Structure 1
């Protein structure tokens, strides 16, 4: 077992690998701990795997896991975490928006006794104002209804203690939302603030629809509140219907007004149908997640390993529900 393991998922990052390797090795030269790096190739279609294999052949401290296809950022992270055996594990993206130079600060906070150390962003890119406002609203909803204690302005750049890693592996759910899961464990956490740089090479991993999907995973995985919305909507619907009825009766008795009742009934029916479709959608989300749980597929499938024991396998059987590229920064 090593002192420190760094897990880096990669998807079509051939343009960033040389800089990532150079900067990472420079930082690790000054780290006094025994360390290793696990690169996870998440089904890249460029030269990412070949470049990683060449690096690993020259340095036995560099390990490579290559998946059969693109299973998504959360799955790739878990592939690395399942193979990590260390006193502490750092997860980070390989696009250099998570600067390797921050690693010593994360280690320092861990050595002070904190079991989870988050790298927290203090800046946002100006061309993502909409994402920033949606992110703020999303986390406000989660906290207002006590759905999750996941901290704001953090992604998957973090250090977790070996105890946290062990508990994380023991969590058996098949839909993975690591930010919420690690926060839910409740271990003592600290933060290291940094300014997140813009991506220099390659393309951003997540589209807007994929961002929404990840947000929905966090929303539905950590609360049963949506299932209880039916009671609230039902009460509102009844009150609206009774309100219309009282208004019509009073108007008829007082003002002798004649109503075309079918018009009001159509309005009320449309309101009820809207509420009903919302509830059907919510139930569908939960039923779909139960369906994924029942199938019990692996979260990922490994094509090959370099500098790793081939007998090591993930001990968590979980389905691939996040079929997306690297994680968005919500």
Structure 2
């Protein structure tokens, strides 16, 4: 028989965070358990190659509120978050990173904000103690997504957020494989609030979120929640056609009116190559969308669990009708 549902579930993906797991546990314990909140802490080991699993096992042995699962391989942060949320039983579900850059101290404030009637509480990074390159690229990405997305997505908001059980139920019905959770939560449209915080610098270890992974996540957000790539390709194509036509008109005018002699085949060759280049860009954009459709059609699971500890229930997964 299952134990009573906890008041709050905290879901944390783990990838090579052996130095941070225990520190984050202590911080959350002070913020939640020591203040009387009923809680469960769900760690999802996403293919770590260090001693993260051993640290998790030790914590779970000492405190049954700590639960963890081990995925068979690295499925990615978004899949790991999904796995943890599928098992979460709390009235409120908080998702956050394990690198201590999402401060546990503000989780109680997020809960208080939810008690005011908000179904979603986003934690927004008012200040980021990160490199100029990361801050600049993140700012550019969010500005593009905010401007062209069909869904309202706030800038400087990652996966540090609180959702209610009502939101989680709807989110569980969205089983697409290409996952961009911050956009999916925004797309649901529930009443939400934003809580600002200062994001500190990582203290221990190195980020497992490489530039390539950031690009992939960014592309997932754009392709899933914006028609910007198609619109961009259309605009570039129209500009290319207009420019090429205008240049050919100019050559024609200069040849017949000013008697200038042009080796027209050279210019046509250049224009042809330009058009071929833009055609390849458009084909690539369409291929990205087709690739996502292909991945969805295979209907593979979002994640595979190899081991779990301190869970006394199976995950609850619902599917949207249609």
Q: What is the deviation of 1:226?
A: 2.4
Match of 1:64 in 2: 68
1:299 aligns with 2:299: no
Match of 1:199 in 2: 202
1:146 aligns with 2:149: yes
Report if the CA contact (8 A) 2:142-2:155 is conserved: yes
Q: In structure 2, do the counterparts of structure 1 residues 102 and 289 end up closer, same or farther at CA, with 3 Å as the change threshold?
A: same
> Structure 1 segments of 4 or more deviating over 6 A?
none
Q: 2:173 aligns with which of 170, 175, 196?
A: 170
SS in 1 for 2:226: coil
User: Which deviates more, 153-162 or 56-65?
Assistant: 56-65
Q: What is the deviation of 1:228?
A: 4.1
Q: 1:104 aligns with which of 108, 131, 135?
A: 108
Q: What is the deviation of 1:310?
A: 5.9
Q: What is the deviation of 1:223?
A: 2.2
Q: What is the deviation of 1:316?
A: 6.5
Give unpaired runs (5+ residues) of structure 1. Answer: 318-330
How well do the aligned residues superpose, as a CA RMSD in angstroms? 1.8
SS in 2 for 1:232: helix
Distance in 1, Cα, partners of 2:312 & 2:237: 57
Distance in 2, Cα, partners of 1:29 & 1:111: 18
Report if the CA contact (8 A) 1:3-1:88 is conserved: yes
| Higher RCO by CA contacts (8 Å cutoff, separation 6 or greater) | 1
Q: In structure 2, do the counterparts of structure 1 residues 155 and 254 end up closer, same or farther at CA, with 3 Å as the change threshold?
A: same
- Which deviations, in whole Å up to 9, do the C-alpha atoms of 1:147-193 show, x marking residues without a partner? 33111111111110111111100113221000101111111111222
- Which deviations, in whole Å up to 9, do the C-alpha atoms of 1:23-77 show, x marking residues without a partner? 2212223433321111111121222112212211222211111111111111110
Report if the CA contact (8 A) 2:87-2:314 is conserved: no
Q: TM-score, normalised by structure 2?
A: 0.92
SS in 1 for 2:315: coil
Match of 1:266 in 2: 269
- Which deviations, in whole Å up to 9, do the C-alpha atoms of 1:202-242 show, x marking residues without a partner? 11122222211111110001123423445433432332232
Q: In structure 2, do the counterparts of structure 1 residues 188 and 311 end up closer, same or farther at CA, with 3 Å as the change threshold?
A: closer
Q: TM-score, normalised by structure 1?
A: 0.90
SS in 2 for 1:289: helix
Report if the CA contact (8 A) 2:173-2:317 is conserved: no
1:289 aligns with 2:292: yes
Distance in 2, Cα, partners of 1:45 & 1:158: 27
Query: How do 1:20-39 and structure 2 match up within 5 A?
Result: 20-39=24-43
Match of 1:320 in 2: none
User: Which deviates more, 218-227 or 198-207?
Assistant: 218-227
SS in 1 for 2:92: strand
Give unpaired runs (5+ residues) of structure 2. Answer: none
Distance in 1, Cα, partners of 2:30 & 2:232: 53
Q: In structure 2, do the counterparts of structure 1 residues 99 and 225 end up closer, same or farther at CA, with 3 Å as the change threshold?
A: closer
Paired positions, count: 316
Q: 2:160 aligns with which of 157, 171, 176?
A: 157
SS in 2 for 1:195: strand
Report if the CA contact (8 A) 1:147-1:219 is conserved: no
Match of 1:45 in 2: 49
Distance in 2, Cα, partners of 1:118 & 1:311: 28
Query: How do 1:108-147 and structure 2 match up within 5 A?
Result: 108-125=112-129, 128-147=131-150
SS in 2 for 1:24: helix
SS in 2 for 1:215: helix
